[in-house]
Amino acid sequence: MPPARILIVEDNAASRDLMSYLLSAFGHTVLVAENGMEGVDQGRRLVPDLIVSDVQLPDIGGFEVARRLHDDPLTKAIPLVAVTALAMVGDRERVLAAGFDGYLPKPIDPEAFVGQIEDFLPLRLRTSQPGTLKFNCCRAEEREH
């Protein structure tokens, strides 16, 4: 099965590394951006199969990232998934209204993450099979946004 090219937009290094590790472990090609502007730029330049973005970013923020990607014909069709510590009632609706296709709350669940992300990929780009990998390495410290 061919891997997907997945762009991660996340300013928190620990969270970025964890997502990168998990997606790479399932054979995906991971691209990273450390802030919103870089994320939009990388999205336009690399046109990945999927973009995972934090919402609380140091510069333009995930909602603005979503708006810019959605307004650009080059990137508007790319599935865009928010990963965020925002957990208040109504946040899910706000995230979807901003142009994201889906929403995963932090902390990331290492055993479920890849499968959750692959729900937004076409079948031909999915590599995970339930129960094929078990992680016992990953810390539960993903509190920071």
Which residues of this protein are in contact with Mn ion, per CB under 5 A? 11, 54, 56, 145
Q: How many residues does the chain have?
A: 145
Closer residue to Mn ion (CB): 62 or 99: 62
Q: How far is the CB of 137 from Mn ion (least distance, A)?
A: 22
Return the number of the residue (94 or 145) whose C-beta is nearest Mn ion: 145
Residue 53's nearest CA partner among 21, 63, 44, 45 is 63
Q: For residue 130, which phi and psi values (nearest 5 degrees)?
A: -55, 130
Sign of the torsion formed by the C-alpha atoms of 58, 63, 68 and 70: positive
**What is the CA angle 22-25-30, rounded to 5?**
70
Q: Which letter does DSSP use for residue 60 in this model? A: S
Measured from the CB of residue 20, what is the shortest distance to Mn ion in angstroms? 15
Nearer to Mn ion, 11 or 118 (CB): 11
Asked whether 53 and 66 are in contact (CB, 8 A), the reply is yes
Is 30 or 125 the residue whose CB approaches Mn ion more closely?
30
In angstroms, give the least distance from the CB of 15 to Mn ion.
Answer: 7
Q: How far is the CB of 43 from Mn ion (least distance, A)?
A: 17
Q: How far is the CB of 60 from Mn ion (least distance, A)?
A: 12
Which CB atom, from 38 or from 54, has the smaller least distance to Mn ion?
54
Three-state SS annotation for 72-87 = CCCCCCCCEEEEECCC
